[in-house]
Structure 1
Amino acid sequence: MAENNWQNFLKNLGEWRGSFTKISPQGDILDSTLSIINLEGLENNQLVKFRLRRFEGNDYDQTPTQDYTQEYRSLGKQIIFFETGTFSKGSLQLAPFSDFGSEFGFIKSDRRLRCVLLYDRQNEFSSITLIREFRSNSNAEEGPQLTLEQLLGKWQGIAYTAYPDFRPTDKFETSLEVNQVADNQVQQTLCFSGATLTSTANIEGNKLVFNTGDNPRQIFLLPDGTSTNAPIKLELRKPFFLEVGWLVNEKERQRLIRNYDATGAWIGSTLVIEHKID
């Protein structure tokens, strides 16, 4: 229901201090900008006022270089909030010669992590924006750069798939096993809803490259326990998905997946909350 989407949105209320970090299509960190985001509930939380300020340098007390506000009484149909407050937002449709992108937002206690994946008008992967946020006046800390060693092992989880038409959310069990099978190769096996998918990637620095199949993909291992999993190029008339993962701690990982069908239409988003068992 749309009203539940709004209630889940409200779990993000507060003041969040952090930074916007631009990352190249090759996974290189380019630059960062400090930010403060305020999400304030008004009129008995029927209205939410959004304010974004960005700052140059390393000081939140200076005059912001950007100060943007917006008010919300409802949410667009391109965004879904899960019960935890985590959300998936992005383009409704892949189309020729148009920009395409998705935002993935996680929240856990006094931390938020958001990541934006963008494609250019030729449908080629063009940039990552990583947004690391901490609730003001909290003791929340940033996680370390994600490493392959942290992902190795067996993970069991619960997945929740939500749909644009707000039909009831599907819930199912998942398992993921990640093994390093050679000095420069890693293999992962994913099981869900009776299906088993196995794939092998080459290890290239902070990147895992999956070249098998007709749609090559790459996973970047990024700061604050973040991973991105996306096609190098989006192909028209082929289904695809975009994914961002967040290693909340050594034993818990969350993944957000945004799914598109062969027509390029967004058909649903999945939140996976998984725990390491081995």
Structure 2
Amino acid sequence: MKTQWENFLQNLGEWHGSFTQISAQGEIVKDTPSILILESLDEQNKTVRLTLRRFTSSGDNSQPKVNELVREYQTFGKDTMFFEDGAFSQGSIQISPISVNGAELSFINQNRRLRLVELFNQDGNFQTLTLIREKRAGTNALENPILTVDALLGKWQGEAITIYPDLRKPDVYPTQMELKIENTGRLFQQITFGNTNQKIITSTARIEDSILHFDEGSQPVKVLLLPDGASATLPIKVELRKPVFFEAGWLIKPDLRQRLIRTYNDTGEWVSLTLVTEHKIN
């Protein structure tokens, strides 16, 4: 099994894209072009420099203002974990009432990356959602269409990998998901996962344009359907002494989707990170 550092190195390169601020209703508020460079500073890849440039327009014809951030890494904090394909998440280790809580959830596929940053304020209410779409410099990798409910309908089958902050052995298990429209007009979702002791989670959502409101059950969430095949699952409120999760999805191809889920227990402790890779089977 690769080390966390080796997994991180899958992200090396020059990435051109944009940081898009999204409202709680899924509307684009602001779009900021960006260039992110991750480069090794030695032959052994022991030190990596990150250079992020964001180009802010003032609205007139003047040159955009460049905001630059430079950091060097030789290791990562306990708030960040990577999968073997380079997908990762960075975020809160502990849900706290005195700080902003949330997570970055990042996918990578060939010459494309898609990242979502979900943040909630000290009161547990939505603060910001940022969609980051990137492609490798020098490639003509295309962006995906805006995600729709129709694109998600059907049966999906795949595999989940769950990794843990204490670096214990990952869990790998099969998954199934079915999505269909009920006679009532609500979206029905059934997720099955596990090997011998299968667990089944059934829920329904009210569909409001590009928002899915899963408003029943103990953990109400809403799912925003976004550009580039992205989806962001947002808790209605991040509450103390209640479990919570942050989730992002990416429809890479019409029959291939990935989801990242960062899970916290009822004490607010970050306990796991799961990457689901699923294929549509009908």
TM-score normalised over the length of structure 2: 0.94
Mapped partners of 1:188, 1:86: distance in 2: 25
Work out whether 1:212 is the aligned partner of 2:212: no
Cα pair 1:40 1:48 within 8 Å, conserved: yes
Matches within 5 A, 1:29-48: 29-43=28-42, 44-48=44-48
Q: Which residue of 1 aligns with 2:164?
A: 163
Q: Which consecutive unaligned segments of at least 5 residues does structure 2 have?
A: none
Mapped partners of 2:48, 2:186: distance in 1: 47
Cα pair 2:102 2:246 within 8 Å, conserved: no
Mapped partners of 2:116, 2:90: distance in 1: 10
Q: What is the aligned residue count?
A: 274
| Deviates further, 227-236 or 201-210 | 227-236
Cα pair 1:97 1:123 within 8 Å, conserved: no
4+ residue runs over 2 A deviation: none
Cα pair 1:17 1:136 within 8 Å, conserved: yes
Matches within 5 A, 1:1-278: 4-43=3-42, 44-57=44-57, 64-182=65-183, 184-193=185-194, 194-278=198-282
Cα pair 1:184 1:204 within 8 Å, conserved: no
Mapped partners of 1:268, 1:238: distance in 2: 16
Cα pair 1:115 1:131 within 8 Å, conserved: yes
| Deviates further, 62-71 or 191-200 | 62-71
Deviations 1:110-130 (A, max 9, x none): 000000001011001222100
Cα RMSD, aligned residues only:
1.4
Mapped partners of 1:145, 1:28: distance in 2: 12
SS in 1 for 2:3: helix
Mapped partners of 1:271, 1:200: distance in 2: 23
Mapped partners of 1:263, 1:39: distance in 2: 35
SS in 2 for 1:65: strand
Mapped partners of 2:23, 2:7: distance in 1: 32
| Deviates further, 218-227 or 233-242 | 233-242
SS in 2 for 1:245: strand
Quickly say closer, same or farther: Cα 1:119–1:204, change in 2 above 3 A: same
Deviations 1:215-262 (A, max 9, x none): 321001000000111211012111121110000000100000001001
SS in 2 for 1:6: helix
Mapped partners of 2:258, 2:41: distance in 1: 31
Q: Which consecutive unaligned segments of at least 5 residues does structure 1 have?
A: none
Deviations 1:171-201 (A, max 9, x none): 0000000001146310100001201010000
Cα pair 2:263 2:272 within 8 Å, conserved: yes
Q: How much does 1:143 deviate?
A: 0.4
Q: How much does 1:42 deviate?
A: 1.6
Cα pair 1:34 1:54 within 8 Å, conserved: yes
